[in-house]
Amino acid sequence: MSEKLKVGILGGTGMVGQRFISLLENHPWFEVTTIAASPRSAGKTYEEAVGDRWKMDTPMPEAVKNIVVMNVNEVEQVASQVDFVFSAVDMTKEEIKKIEEDYAKTETPVVSNNSAHRWTPDVPMVVPEINPEHMKVIEFQRKRLGTKRGFVAVKPNCSIQSYAPVLTAWKEFEPYEVVATTYQAISGAGKTFKDWPEMVGNIIPYIGGEEEKSEKEPLRIWGHIDDEKKEIVPATSPVITCQCIRVPVLNGHTAAVFVKFRKKPTKEQLIEKLVTFSGEPQRLGLPSAPKQFIQYLEEDNRPQVALDVDFENGMGISVGRLREDTVYDYKFVGLSHNTLRGAAGGALLCAELLKAQGYITSYKVDGKSLLENGPVPNYYRAPVSNDPSFSTAMKNAAQNFTLDENGITVDKKDKVVNIHVSGSIPEVNTPNSIDYMIYGNGEIVVTNTVTPSASAGNIARIGMKMTVAKDYEKLTYYGNGPQANYVDRNTGAKL
């Protein structure tokens, strides 16, 4: 358990891919072991493939220079090398949707910086401080894809980061109408001033597709999971209208925003909500999480890109110039780092949240996987002739398990971490909780507690089920194979 999860970067030679590689240098949980890109880069070392196109302020990490780039289209080969992948591929929307699902179907989680799957109904689009509960839709997505471990999760557009968190902090005052103009940096187009000299001293009052994303994506983040539809249903309020303008700035998206509230607050109330706002990443202490998510700056000339874009290592939001307006209730200016919080950094924080929630997993010894999936609750076995009648209501309990609100808690103590998962099996109104005690020596003790209701019927067994890696051929076990068997007849069926 001491080993880091092995990460692949799809589209690793581009600007966002480079940012992923920079951010993952010395990451405590994840390690870049595989880089995939277009066929023209495949077969070269990463240093050779990038050449003079390295666009980060910091040098290329030594650990990746000699990694041989793989062909991103060779899905099975790339996926076999990693625990999960970040996607930053440069393809058409349909090509991206297909290749990301192809990777997911190899049982490889995909955390994507791309927009292709942002409106796929069962794909979570998450700002971890705002809607971490949307990750639960992954279970519906897995059923659609036919996977047990693989899925696709995405982060939203960079343009909304300067105002969507602010409006979320003010949710109790019921904002219902918003006008926003965003002033967006050239790195959002994957460019530097060297690549795009005509942007020096220039603005362009149009960015293709950005205005629709800026108006609609916040509503999906503020939406809810519909268990019957098995998808995320967007919110209907507030109404947002946007203009998006490209400006001669390298990094940092600024937004000038006007807001109407149904319950008009005081300026002091609004500021208090901003500076005290935090979420699941702060509670869990995720490695990339800002300690202060939103800062408020009192000076009339703040926030400024030059002074504030790197707040909290580029993962925080800066707000200033909050004041009453003659047409709307209030107006303010927000600033966020578009390639950190708005792109690779936001995706990295999503991956950290997914790991903490148990969606990205790995259990390895000496680099070899022991488990392909599980352990998960198991309350059924094949009946034999001398059994009483078993209810089948609990047969699919693991698939139907539903997390309680705030149903995952993590308690860290000296050399042991306890992950407590509480939920229920709603079809039979049965509470169910699982504790994972993870010790420093790699031992994991799993305790499953179930309190059956009368509607659960006669339960065949109370246990856990897991899939062992296929490389292991010699096993000592007690359990059931394709047909009923016990410890004294465990050769009656192949495991």
Instruction: Please identify every residue annotated as catalytic.
Output: 158, 253
Cα 288 from Cα 345, distance rounded (Å): 8
Q: How far apart are the first and last CA of the chain?
A: 26
Cα 346 from Cα 316, distance rounded (Å): 11
Tokens 């936001």 appear where?
346
Radius of gyration of the chain, Cα coordinates, nearest whole angstrom: 25
3-class state of residue 353 by DSSP: helix
3-class state of residue 201 by DSSP: coil
Sequence-separated (6 or more) residues with CB below 8 Å from residue 456: 391, 393, 394, 425, 428, 430
> Which string of DSSP letters, residue by residue, matches 156-197?
--GGGGGTHHHHHHTGGG-EEEEEEEEEE-GGGGT--TTT-G
Cα 495 from Cα 491, distance rounded (Å): 9
Q: Which amino acid is at 42?
A: A
Q: CA 113, 118, 124: angle at the middle one, nearest 5?
A: 90
CA 436 to chain centre: 22
